[in-house]
Structure 1
Amino acid sequence: MTAWSGEMQHLAWLMLVILWMVQAVAGCPNVCKCSRKSGLEKTEVNCHKRGLRAFPSNLPPDAWILKLGENGISDLKANVLRLIPNIESINLERNAIKSIHPQAFSGAKQLMLLNLYGNHITNLPVKGFQDLLNLRFLMLGQNQIGILKPDMFARMRNLSDLDLPLNALTTLPSNAFKHLIALKVLDLSLNRIQKISPKAFTGLGQLMFLNLDNNSLKTIPAGAFGPLRSLEMLVLDNNLLSTLSLSTMNGLENLQELYLRNNELEHLPPDVFRNMAKLSQLALSGNRLKTLDGNMFTHMPDLKKLHLHDNQWQCDCNIISFVQWIGQTKATLSPRDALKCLSPPEHRNKSLPSLQVNKLQCPA
């Protein structure tokens, strides 16, 4: 009797385990594939490219990864994540999302990654992400977002990576990112940014990478980069910048890489990079520079690569200190043979490193 009871108990236990496992994935949407992570009470739900027109409601309660990319979901209603409180990663890229309810992500306190790349979002709800206390990665690229408001990213104190390329931003207002005190990476490339507020980057003391490539910046206000004390890489390629000053670059003492390719820089003051002792890569190619003061690089002991080709070098007496520096530096001038004089006629197409300083005359 005792042995029979023990066997029945064992069978009952097995049935309970099987029932529990079936129930765990029983909520899987018909068109999706649900798989349990081995050894963990976590289910991955794969609904990628399954023709969904709405956010699925019958999801397993232990879902932790949700793949919903390349569907036709057009909006995110309130509390869509209420029944999956342990969700950690959601991919909604390349849907047709136009609107997000302010409480769409309510309760998702374990979410670490949210990918909304390639949708039709024009406006982000104010404080719409405030419940995402553990979010680390937020991808909002290739949407139609035109305005950033100070409380848009409220309470996102753990966000480390914010991607906003390929949107319709024209202005970076004051305090746009002030809540993002842990942010390390900010990508604002391929927008239409023309104006940056002097306080646009307030709060970003931990930022290490800032990408402003392919915008419409003509000027940068003095002190705008001041809060970026940890910044190591700044990309300003393909803008309309015509000049920079020491006050413009203030705050970038830890910068290691600066990219200013394909702008409209005509003149750089000798002290513009004075406070960037850690700079190892500097790219100034594709501008309108006619001359540089060689002394501007003496404050950069770690400079390894300098890109200066495709400028309008005027090889007269004003370029002597720069030519002398070229002859002494150990930095790689890339590409060295592309550094050529545009004027005057007697030096046209000559290589800057080959110039003899005693033959560089002052203009009449």
Structure 2
Amino acid sequence: MRVAVIGGGINGVMTAWAFARRGDSVDLYEKGQLMSATSSSSSKMLHGGLRYLEHGHLGLVREALQERSWWVRQAPQFASPLQLLIPIYRQGGRAKWLVGAGIRLYDLLALGSGFPRGRWYSATEVVDRFPALRREQLLGAYGYWDAQMDDYQLGLWAAEKARQAGARLHEQTPVLRLDATTGEVSFGGSSASYDRVVNVAGPWAEKLLADSGVTSAYRLDLIRGSHIVIPGKREQGCVLQVPGEKRILFVLPLGERTLLGTTEVSQSDPDHCAPTEAEVGYLIDNYNRCFSEPIAQQDILARFAGIRPIVASKTDYSAASRESVIERQGRLLNVFGGKWTTARALAAAVLTKSQH
């Protein structure tokens, strides 16, 4: 079967790899460079999504926890376990019992994954690990485990696996139109026809359909997540609870530096994604609220933003899950949503859908 995969982010790459391993003839088309957009602008975490437990997405969390382990086993040079601490204060944020229950459920869903279990740390133990953390009313912290990755290099590793399986990866080849009935894909002044066309262009998936005159039952909300990089080496991660919000912020090791993120802001144009001064200020203010060694604008070493395509309209972005939808229209399969950690599982689901 001839298959066209549109989109060179991690979901497109894993989809191309899955079809190629099955023995299909696969062409992947990427308008820029592989892994150059959303997939390399993440929080660098392979995780189950601890906060999704609050909204009952147990199946999604369990799948992601098992997939997290697959990445670590397959490419340990680019992904490894990381412990994160969630400080608990006497006032503000989620209650100690609630966070503890969430960690225990997270561990239960991760059974068989090979990751250590979470545990409680006293205030003294927490300060030993994060000396600059604010100590007033600090009860302690729950520690739990996820994994950290080099998202760009891990994505290129997956792309090379797809190539080795026989997929042809075409960079700098934007797809202009597609035809759901004939399977025709148009790019530049040329075109080709396929038995299956997989639209897995992430934030650009909906625009491609509009340009092609194809209607869909689904739509995407594009959510910008901004990050900043600051000085200071850390051995562990820290999860900060934002007062008055359900959101959390990550303080993560990034080599000799520290990564702080992320925000959640509506984004209209996927081609122009960058942190705003308001978002940078939000990250700085929340960091300074929790740490006694404040940072300022001049301390920022780098800043970047990525886009999360969330399926359908949601009024509470924090409650939105990263569950994906696969829509079949003739020879066309539209893939909406999805997240880094579960890209392999999503590709398997696309493979199954393509057979029906």
> When the two structures are superposed, what TM-score results if normalisation uses the length of structure 1?
0.18
Greater helix share, structure number: 2
Look at both structures and tell me which one has the larger radius of gyration over its CA atoms: 1
TM-score by length of 2: 0.18
Report 1 or 2 for greater relative contact order, CA contacts < 8 Å, sequence distance ≥ 6: 2
